Amino acid sequence: MKTAVTLTTALLMSLNTWAAGLQHVEPPHWWAGMRDPSLQLMLHGAGIATATPTLKPYPGVRLKGSHRADSPNYLFVDLDISASAAPGELQLDVGGTVLRYPLRARAPGSADRVGFGPKDAIYLVVPDRFAKGPTPPAGANGMKEGERRADPGGRHGGNLSGMRQHLPYIAGLGFTQVWPTPLVENNSEQYSYHGYAATDFYKVDPRFGSNDDFLAYTAEARALGVGVIQDIVLNHIGSGHWWMADLPAPDWVNQWPAYTETHHARMTLQDPYAAPSDRKRFTDGWFVPAMPDLNQRRPELATYLTQMTLWWIETAGLSGLRTDTYSYSDREFLSRWSARVMQEYPRLNIVGEEWSPHPAVVSYWQRGKKNHDGYVSHAPSLMDFPMQTNLLAALTEADGPHTGLTKLYEGLAHDFMYPDPANLVLFDGNHDTPRLFSLLGKDVGLTKIALAYLATTRRIPQLFYGTELAMESPLERDDGKVRADMPGGWAGDSVNAFTGAGLTPVQRDMQAWTRRLFNWRKSASVIHDGALMQYAPVDGCYVFFRHDADRTVLVALNKTGKPVSLPVARFPERLTPTDRAKDVLADTPAFTVGTSFTVPARSPLILEISR
């Protein structure tokens, strides 16, 4: 790809101009035509803080100034790039050495790209565990941790080549977005595979491939109709990040007199009675000793993280962001960060991770929420942990006034808490939770009910790779086993999800059923934008409708071990005996509904209704 080659070449040219030992220029390049004209370069090299930069005259670009931090090896250079500036090459003289800085043209329509939304279905992959391509990545030698596939907590060798090879599989399942866990460099001695401890924000981990490989991956995904959501970590870095050997300033990370870990008490941010020390420990405490906690109150760091985010969106043509450990970052920074991202890309989507079972806590972070304390967020979406909790409870608890299916019904009734509930991401599980099939007692019927609900309720559905194969895990948290290898992703695998070889009857059935469900959803526009009407659960069966002026879909979930006959008279607002119905999950002819219809035992029923 021409774009990818130019990216690498431009970065190398920038670095090569610095015979005096400049080690980092970040961002590596920028663009003309961004809506915010400001750009702050971080220059890192021995003694560079003493330099006074000058800019060769360039129409539409102005050097506003520069400043140093505590370290003598960093210089922050502020530029103003007006709307009149054309793409080209800036020449910045820093202490007698000329830095040639690329100012690129934005891709056509970049600012108005449409991000993921209710029309989409997301497939989550862990790159190290999904597939190892036939072409080994170049430049992986010298990394601190090598491949140890036999170790559940080690690197298994999955890479971008393997991910790219199996993009048609994801598209064929009916998914329109793919979310890989972080791909940036994690050069740690152990547990480096998960990606959440960055050691270089601007570099794809060489064991996955190169930046160019990632751009090729996103381009091929788009060609298949699949957008790419990038996992961004703003809260922390890995202890091996190059900053840690030479911090720009002591307060670049949150420092304590002695090591202090976050207590994960996320409600302290909304609790009117919370002790300030508890709030501080939640946001400023570290996750683990190997993950230094970033201080986004430091202005240069806040700018750095924001520009890094924009750089990846523009460079890779992303369709959205998933933001890890969202509320752990400084919340005023999050407000400014999300506002800047949405300023540049008004139709993009950002989904934040706020791992709480309480709608009041999750809704606090969604764009448009009128919060009790005046806090304003600009993130359009959040991961719907409350409804994911309710879904599991609905299918594992006995039904009662406050248990079982009632939790699903009442959970959805709490949508009044959210400014935009349809834009929440509801998921079967993720890389931090036990596998759905195991949590549901390896019950195929209950698993299909869960996926049918994900696909049809008023949310954006997300599936964890391998759910379509009924992959299993321990019931307690065991990350290495939850993130097991995708069958068939490695040469010599006896079971292959991509070809079907070696799959059990249960796996074949689940895969085919999932493929049918999500391919139907792609064209079922009433599921994307229709209203929802639900009826209180009765006798182990829960029914809701998606509808608009022209279209109606009935969804019935029967968790009992016997077929349930439901009278049409119970649903007078949405159904009549003369309506025609088509079962979208079965190859059966359409039928007249009549006075009642039957929901099979331990099954979902999805009917397209016409009259």
Q: What is the DSSP letter of 151?
A: S
Residues 600 and 493 in one domain: no
Least confident among 2-11, 417-426, 443-452:
2-11
**Which amino acid, one-letter code, is at 607?**
L
Whole-number pLDDT of residue 96: 87
Structure tokens at 334: 């999050």
Residue 190: which of 289, 286, 124 has the closest Cα?
289
Q: Tell whether pTM > 0.75.
A: yes
Provide the pLDDT confidence category of residue 16 given band limits of 50, 70 and 90. Answer: very low
Which run of H or of E encompasses 201? strand 200-204
Question: 324, 354, 428, 468: which one is catalytic?
Answer: 324
Residues 379 and 239 in one domain: yes
Q: Is 111 a domain residue?
A: no
Whole-number pLDDT of residue 13: 39
Residue 397: exposure state from Cβ atoms within 10 A (0-12, 13-18, ≥19): middle
Cβ density class 38-54: b for 16+ within 10 Å, e for less: ebbbbbbbeebbebebe
Average pLDDT over all residues of the chain? 95
Residues 72 and 167 in one domain: no
Partner residues linked to 567 by β-bridges: 596
Contacts of residue 214, Cβ cutoff 8 Å, sequence gap at least 6: 160, 183, 204, 208, 316
Q: Is the pLDDT of residue 8 over 70?
A: no
Whole-number pLDDT of residue 5: 34
Residues 490 and 541 in one domain: no
Arithmetic mean of pLDDT, 528-546: 97
Provide the pLDDT confidence category of residue 141 given band limits of 50, 70 and 90. Answer: confident
Whole-number pLDDT of residue 167: 98
Residue 611: exposure state from Cβ atoms within 10 A (0-12, 13-18, ≥19): exposed
d(CA 411, CA 391): 9
Provide the pLDDT confidence category of residue 11 given band limits of 50, 70 and 90. Answer: very low
Residue 321: which of 393, 382, 401 has the closest Cα?
382
Residue 483 CA neighbour count, 13 Å, CB half? 29
Q: Is 341 a domain residue?
A: yes
- Domain region containing 554: 532-610
Provide the pLDDT confidence category of residue 379 given band limits of 50, 70 and 90. Answer: very high
Question: 284, 353, 354, 399: which one is catalytic?
Answer: 353
Residues 477 and 592 in one domain: no
Q: Is 353 a residue of the active site? A: yes
d(CA 583, CA 585): 6
Whole-number pLDDT of residue 138: 81
Q: Is 256 a domain residue?
A: yes
Partner residues linked to 79 by β-bridges: 39, 63
pLDDT in tens, 244-265: 999 999 999 999 999 999 999 9
Per cent of the chain over pLDDT 70 is 97
Whole-number pLDDT of residue 188: 94
Provide the pLDDT confidence category of residue 12 given band limits of 50, 70 and 90. Answer: very low
Which run of H or of E encompasses 125? strand 122-125
Q: Check which CATH number belongs to the domain holding 144 and give it.
A: 3.20.20.80
Residues 573 and 546 in one domain: yes
pLDDT in tens, 170-225: 999 999 999 999 999 999 999 999 999 999 999 999 999 999 999 999 999 999 99
d(CA 102, CA 91): 9
pLDDT in tens, 328-368: 999 999 999 999 999 999 999 999 999 999 999 999 999 99
Q: Is 354 a residue of the active site? A: no
Total number of domains in the chain: 3
Backbone phi and psi for residue 197, each to the nearest 5 degrees, phi listed first? -135, 75
Q: Is the pLDDT of residue 524 over 70?
A: yes
Whole-number pLDDT of residue 18: 38
Q: Is the pLDDT of residue 9 over 70?
A: no
Whole-number pLDDT of residue 4: 36
Q: Is 75 a domain residue?
A: yes
Whole-number pLDDT of residue 137: 85
Q: Is the pLDDT of residue 10 over 90?
A: no
d(CA 422, CA 459): 5
Residues 258 and 303 in one domain: yes
Residues 122 and 170 in one domain: yes
Q: Is the pLDDT of residue 521 over 50?
A: yes
Residues 251 and 180 in one domain: yes
Arithmetic mean of pLDDT, 488-495: 97
Q: Is 112 a domain residue?
A: no
Whole-number pLDDT of residue 289: 96
Contacts of residue 497, Cβ cutoff 8 Å, sequence gap at least 6: 169, 466, 468, 469, 486, 487, 488, 489, 503, 507, 511
Q: Is 212 a domain residue?
A: yes
Backbone phi and psi for residue 187, each to the nearest 5 degrees, phi listed first? -90, 75
Q: Check which CATH number belongs to the domain holding 22 and give it.
A: 2.60.40.10
Whole-number pLDDT of residue 97: 87
Q: Is the pLDDT of residue 6 over 80?
A: no
Among 523, 552, 577, identify where a domain stops: 523
Per DSSP, the residues of 42-85 read EEEETTGGG--EEE--BTTEEEEEEE--SSTTEEEEEEEE-TTP
Residues 167 and 54 in one domain: no
Q: What is the DSSP letter of 205?
A: -
Among 78, 106, 134, identify where a domain stops: 106
Whole-number pLDDT of residue 271: 95
Per cent of the chain over pLDDT 90 is 94
Per-residue HEC secondary structure of 460-489 comes to EEEEECCHHHCCCCCCCCCHHHHCCCCCCC
Residues 551 and 454 in one domain: no
Q: Check which CATH number belongs to the domain holding 598 and give it.
A: 2.60.40.1180
Q: Is 185 a domain residue?
A: yes
Which run of H or of E encompasses 542? strand 541-547
Among 488, 523, 558, identify where a domain stops: 523
Residue 496: exposure state from Cβ atoms within 10 A (0-12, 13-18, ≥19): middle
pLDDT in tens, 291-341: 999 999 999 999 999 999 999 999 999 999 999 999 999 999 999 999 999
Arithmetic mean of pLDDT, 122-147: 92
Residues 536 and 495 in one domain: no
Q: Is 518 a domain residue?
A: yes
